[in-house]
Structure 1
Amino acid sequence: MPPVSRIIEVTLYSLLNFLPFLALALYPFRHSLRFSKGVTVALFGLLTVIQILLGAWVCFIPGTHGSIASAVSTLLYGMFYFLAVKKHFGKTLFILLMISNLANLTVISAKCLEGIFFPALATQNYRWSFSLMLFTIEIVLAVPVFLYMKSIFTPAVEKEPSGFEWKFLWLIPATFYLVWYSAMYSVISRSALEIALQPKNSVFLFVINVGAFLIYYVVARLILEQSKTLELQEKNHQLTMQAVQYENLQKKIEDARRVKHDVRHHILLMQEYLNSGELEALREYLSRYSESLPDDSLVRFCENNAANTLLLYFAQQAKDHGIDYIVKAQIPKDFFISDTDISALFGNLLENALDACKEEKEDGRKIIVRAGMTGGSFCATVDNTFTGSLRYTGDGDLISTKHKGHGLGTQSVKIIAEKYHGICRLESRDGMFFASVMCQRE
């Protein structure tokens, strides 16, 4: 029976060499686990026990079991990871290889430091000195690596682009793995221990990992930009389809107005004929029918058809939800902003204003629209009731309250403003949200 102190040393090393890295690899997929949290934790615990037993086997059972134990450990590690995470295979393999490269850097650097500070213990397996150096390096790396994973890589992993990218992106960490492995272990005459004890090898691994993480950063940014572009394209497509629907709606309203006018004229003629008769009941019925018809004064907010269609549509939406809707717009029929852009501009602003008002519980909800030309510039403001709080990204973009990530509607408005050499300003105060846009003629 080995001493208790040695059992503790082996257990401590096995935990430090396993738990932090597996937890870090699972973090980006914490919302995409295949099993419930209870089952996942149980499997995690079972795998931890197996890792400890493998370490004890290598340390306490005579023979050269290190390579076999390492292969079994790696196999079980990968099986658990791919079983527990329900994501694209290439995506999980990318993270697994990335964390494996980091783990190898940590272990080899820890052994190198052990050789410097505890040379007598460095040639022995799983001593407390090795665990101490391993723990020290993990503490140093914990904060920057976790922040990197949280703020840079996890958002990219959570995106769901076409999936084609991840079929090949895993080759990047795989290539780094092959580069450092072949460079360090190509000389057969050197043992793994001798390689780990040489400081130059730790420095080499550190440089390799720094370069790798810079490339991972570029990959993550490209994926996020691609996803943002696709989302904006989808949003603009939806707005274009809405604009078509709005135009069809306006045509239907105009047709209904013409029909209504004919019906009203018919009713008036019949009432005139009936005035000299005795059919009082029929006259009363026709009177009620006439009063039930909507007002025949079709609302027109401005001369610009695209803007008027949007303003008219959201006027009805606001009315349906009991929201006061005030418009003062003087937008000419033809001016320097295209119909597509003016539709997207008002569509995004009014949709956001309507959604915000629908979330408000108090009375007095309102949307106020002002728009018109000032010299060579077009100015538009859409103000609405809003008692919530705004959150911004590090780049100053507004974070959506309806989904994760940037507010696509406000992002589209900003893009349109920049296209016409203008600005977009969004702020809230005193129970109102204020959106202001200014576009300039070239």
Structure 2
Amino acid sequence: MNETTFRWVQHGILVVLLLLYAGSFAAFFHPFLAARSRHTLRQRTAAVFCIYLAPYLTGLVADLPNWSSMAFIALAMSLLSAPLRLSRQTILLLSAVFFSARNLCALAMESLNFLWSQRLSEMNDAEQIFLRLTIHFLLLMLVQFALFLAVLFLAAGVLHRKELHLGVWETFCLLLIPVTGILVGSILFTMLIGVKDGVIFQLYEQHPLFIGLVPLVAGMFYAGTLVSIFSYQEMARLQEEKNTYFLEKQQIRAMQERMEEVEGFYTGIRRMKHEMRGHLANIRGLAQSGSYGEIEQYIGRMDESMKVFDLTVKTGNPITDVILSDRQRQAVKLGISFQVDFRYPQSERYDPYDIGIILNNLLQNALEGCEKLPEDARYIRLLGKQQKKFFLIEVKNPFEGELEIDRDSRLPHSTKGGMFHGIGLSNVRREVEKYMGEIEIKTRNNEFCATVLLQERSVPK
């Protein structure tokens, strides 16, 4: 094999590798490219593939340092964050992790490249040298790409543990290690081969210790990247659990306080019963004196005072009575049609506070979903009925916008904010799991339907 053939084969191998890296880049981003249809998902994945190839095929970074192509791709991805439905913070982190893996793997393989090259220097036949160089280059690229896939797969496993919701500060902290690794790798690449007094020398020849030290540094940088992401995810998970627990306790406390108010109302009703004789005596006295206008005013004042004690929804349980009555009043103020067909289960194997939390969160989401719609399009339909050992709760309401599914909880959240904050539906799921039940979310013709199915506990709580 002559030098020209060797150059063509080397060029062909590099082109194939470029396509493989572009495919890996697209596959790495693929799970984060949320889409309502497979066709849209394929389009977004293809766009990521083309963005990776663009700087190389157009020659924009041909005479620039290696890190410039990475910066160009990350910048292009960030500018297209809206069509890709990815936040800029997520794009920057994923790009940094990908290019850090690519750079550090290439840097680690330089040690192997140096050791293999030593054996080629002992050969004299030119054709044999070029043939061995071709085999050597091909094997080196294959091993490098296999190593890259392994570390990228490890990174994907860490990143996919929990959906990323990054702020500017969190992104900055998580980018420190991978970006530093890319820059350090780029500096070391320029130092591997140098010229001194007209003589070309390799860093590994001058400092043999670097043969093992460089791969170790590359591995430590990448391990630091993964550890920092893992630590952030754990802190985010713990904070989410803390928020969920706090919100649940707050809801229970609010229901307890509301129940105390209701107890006060019932006490007032009992007191009014005792006072009714006095009221009747007063009305009789006004009638005997012919003060009929004052009688009407007196009865009107009595009617207003008694309205305070009304609970507009009767479910068979005081806790759910209070929750549904309060939500109905709130719906009326917002111009929302509120239809209720709910009967509390007769079984004692359900905790009314658990069912109260489920209703509270589902109805809060429904109210928020209706607020953005015209008044004539607002409605909430609630169904609650017992079916043997099961209890069914169903809430329907209209909504606008698109729904996306959270990869961790498998629950929907809104792309425009307002509805489905995540914590509310997560609280519902937590309560449902106590009863070995299920929560099912369906959407059809811009109608959101949340169905909860609970089953009786084996032992009463």
1:258-273 matched pairs, under 5 angstroms = 258=270, 266-273=278-285
2-structure distance, mates of 1:387, 1:333 = 37
Q: How many pairs were matched up?
A: 342
Deviation at 1:199, TM superposition (A): 9.8
Q: Out of 229, 234, 254, which is 2:266 matched to? A: 254
Contact 1:423 1:437 in 2 (8 A): yes
Partner of 2:256: 244
Q: Out of 335, 339, 344, which is 1:331 matched to? A: 344
Q: In structure 1, the residue corresponding to 2:339 is in which secondary structure?
A: strand
Contact 2:384 2:394 in 1 (8 A): yes
Give CA-to-partner distance per residue, 1:396-440, whole Å, 9 cap, x none: 722333469962211221232223111111112245322111112
Partner of 1:440: 455
Deviation at 1:237, TM superposition (A): 2.4
Partner of 2:441: 426
Partner of 1:277: 289
Deviation at 1:103, TM superposition (A): 5.5
Q: In structure 1, the residue corresponding to 2:412 is in which secondary structure?
A: coil
> Identity over the aligned pairs, expressed in percent?
16
Deviation at 1:285, TM superposition (A): 3.0
Contact 1:24 1:99 in 2 (8 A): no
Q: Which amino acid aligns with 1:437?
A: V
Q: Out of 375, 378, 395, which is 1:382 matched to? A: 395
Q: CA 1:366–1:175 in 2, change beyond 3 Å: closer, same or farther?
A: closer
Q: Which amino acid aligns with 2:285?
A: Y
Partner of 2:376: 363
2-structure distance, mates of 1:371, 1:390 = 25
Partner of 2:203: 192
2-structure distance, mates of 1:299, 1:407 = 30
2-structure distance, mates of 1:153, 1:196 = 41
Q: CA 1:287–1:340 in 2, change beyond 3 Å: closer, same or farther?
A: closer
1:79-228 matched pairs, under 5 angstroms = 156=164, 158=166, 192=203, 215=227, 218-228=230-240
2-structure distance, mates of 1:365, 1:106 = 59
Q: In structure 1, the residue corresponding to 2:298 is in which secondary structure?
A: helix
Partner of 1:73: none
Q: Which amino acid aligns with 1:192?
A: L
Q: CA 1:153–1:367 in 2, change beyond 3 Å: closer, same or farther?
A: closer
Partner of 1:38: none
1:285-300 matched pairs, under 5 angstroms = 285-295=297-307, 298-299=311-312
Q: Which stretches in structure 1 are left out of the alignment for 5+ residues?
A: 1-10, 29-94, 120-132
Deviation at 1:326, TM superposition (A): 2.6
Please, what TM-score do these two structures have when normalized by structure 1?
Answer: 0.56
Q: Out of 332, 355, 360, which is 1:342 matched to? A: 355
Q: CA 1:333–1:160 in 2, change beyond 3 Å: closer, same or farther?
A: farther
Q: Which stretches in structure 2 are left out of the alignment for 5+ residues?
A: 1-60, 79-94, 122-140, 192-200
Partner of 1:17: 67
Contact 1:349 1:435 in 2 (8 A): yes
Moved more, 253-262 or 205-214: 205-214
Deviation at 1:253, TM superposition (A): 3.3
Contact 1:356 1:385 in 2 (8 A): yes
Partner of 1:416: 431
Q: CA 1:284–1:272 in 2, change beyond 3 Å: closer, same or farther?
A: same
Deviation at 1:392, TM superposition (A): 1.1
Q: Out of 353, 361, 374, which is 2:366 matched to? A: 353
Find out whether 1:391 has 2:404 as its counterpart.
Answer: yes
Q: In structure 1, the residue corresponding to 2:256 is in which secondary structure?
A: helix
Contact 1:360 1:386 in 2 (8 A): yes
